[in-house]
């Protein structure tokens, strides 16, 4: 606190010293104001040639007449004026007299405290958040449509006729597994049915086929089976053992149904 006061006093003293350094103080006595004498020019009569209309004398006479009647006359008021500035005119500077500093006459001055925080100028202001604005028009609600992904079940159709047009392979039964007596019975029926000598016949197989409705029959020797083409009547016809044989002499095929015992 005292340090600041001391510095302030020192600054004031230095300021005063620099302000009055080099100035020359001159005291000038004021001179009496003297009015200068001026001579008025003499009136002269200017001779003019010829006869002229006496305009000016008439106007002057008019004025004199009005003055004599007390009109258009201004009253004079005496007034003495002086200029005090003349006394200081020509001086180099105005005389300033400072009262000497005396102890005890100084008034206490409140020294404003220095700001504790300096305000920084020129800083970047933070960006203001953008104003939110609402879109003028809201989107129209779309129309809802349904696309059914369900797969159609399809219509089931009867196609047995189509299936019957295809040849049905029927495997030959293994005659080795048949009882010997049954096989002999079958052989006898084959001879009777075909009228062939049993020694002239080569049995190609024993098949179980429908007793009715067989439209076509072909032998597949490679796989030991027959291919039959059936008619609708074959579906409900009972299955019966059927022997297919080949004649050894001419290779012709013979066949007959045999009866189960």
Partner 1 sequence: MAESIKLAYFMAVKEGASYLGGLLVTDTSGIPLDFRYTEPITPTRLQSILYGKSLEPHLKEEVIQKTLLKELKTPPDLFILSATELAGGWSGDAKYPVLAVQKSQESPLGRVGEVFRAGPREVLIQLADGAAPLRAIFAASVDPAAQEQAVVKLVEAGYHMDLTEPLERVTAALQSLVVKEA
Nearest to partner 1 of 54, 169 (CB atom): 169
* Distance of closest approach, residue 226 Cβ to partner 1, in angstroms: 11
Nearest to partner 1 of 62, 223 (CB atom): 223
- The token pair that represents 225 in the structure block: 């089976």
215: left (phi over 0), alpha (psi -120 to 50) or beta: alpha
* Distance of closest approach, residue 182 Cβ to partner 1, in angstroms: 16
Nearest to partner 1 of 14, 173 (CB atom): 173
* Distance of closest approach, residue 126 Cβ to partner 1, in angstroms: 51
* Distance of closest approach, residue 169 Cβ to partner 1, in angstroms: 6
Nearest to partner 1 of 68, 153 (CB atom): 153
Question: In sequence order, what DSSP letters do the residues of 194-216 get, joined into one string?
Answer: H---GGGEEEEEEEEEESS-EEE
CB 242 within 8 A of CB 207: yes
Alpha carbon distances (Å) from 83 to 24, 78, 136: 25, 17, 81
Nearest to partner 1 of 131, 144 (CB atom): 144
Residues that bind partner 1 in the complex, under the rule CB under 8 A: 147, 149, 151-160, 162-166, 168-171, 173-174, 177, 208-210, 225, 230, 234-235, 239
Nearest to partner 1 of 52, 162 (CB atom): 162
* Distance of closest approach, residue 208 Cβ to partner 1, in angstroms: 6
Question: In sequence order, what DSSP letters do the residues of 81-110 get, joined into one string?
Answer: ---GGGGGTT-SS----PPPP-TTTPPP--
- Among the listed residues 170, 177, 184, the one whose alpha carbon sits nearest the alpha carbon of residue 240: 170
Please report, in angstroms and rounded to a whole number, the separation of the first and last CA atoms in the chain. Answer: 145
Question: In sequence order, what DSSP letters do the residues of 12-44 get, joined into one string?
Answer: HHHHHHHHHTTPPP---PPPPP-PPP-PPPPP-
* Distance of closest approach, residue 160 Cβ to partner 1, in angstroms: 5
């Amino acid at each position: 606190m005292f340090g600041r006061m001391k510095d302030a006093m020192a600054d004031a003293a230095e300021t005063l010293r620099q302000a009055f350094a080099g100035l020359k103080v001159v005291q000038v006595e004021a001179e009496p104001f003297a009015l200068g004498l001026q001579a008025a020019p003499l009136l002269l009569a200017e001779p003019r040639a010829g006869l002229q209309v006496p305009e000016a004398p008439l106007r002057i006479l008019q004025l004199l007449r009005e003055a004599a009647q007390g009109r258009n006359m201004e009253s004079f008021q005496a007034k003495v004026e002086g200029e005090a500035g003349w006394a200081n005119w020509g001086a180099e500077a105005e005389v300033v007299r400072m009262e000497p500093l005396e102890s005890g006459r100084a008034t206490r001055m409140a020294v404003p405290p220095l700001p504790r925080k300096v305000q920084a100028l020129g800083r970047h202001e933070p960006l203001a958040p953008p104003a939110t604005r609402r879109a003028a028009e809201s989107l129209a609600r779309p129309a809802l449509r349904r696309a059914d992904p369900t797969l159609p079940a399809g219509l089931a159709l009867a196609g047995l006729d189509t299936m019957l047009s295809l040849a049905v392979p029927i495997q030959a039964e293994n005659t080795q597994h048949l009882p010997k007596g049954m096989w002999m019975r079958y052989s006898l029926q084959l001879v009777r049915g075909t009228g062939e000598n049993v020694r002239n016949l080569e049995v190609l197989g024993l098949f179980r086929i429908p007793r009715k409705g067989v439209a076509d029959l072909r032998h597949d020797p490679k796989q030991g089976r027959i291919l039959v083409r059936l008619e609708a009547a074959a579906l409900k016809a009972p299955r019966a053992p059927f022997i297919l044989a080949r004649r050894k002499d001419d290779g012709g095929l013979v066949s007959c149904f045999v009866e189960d015992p």
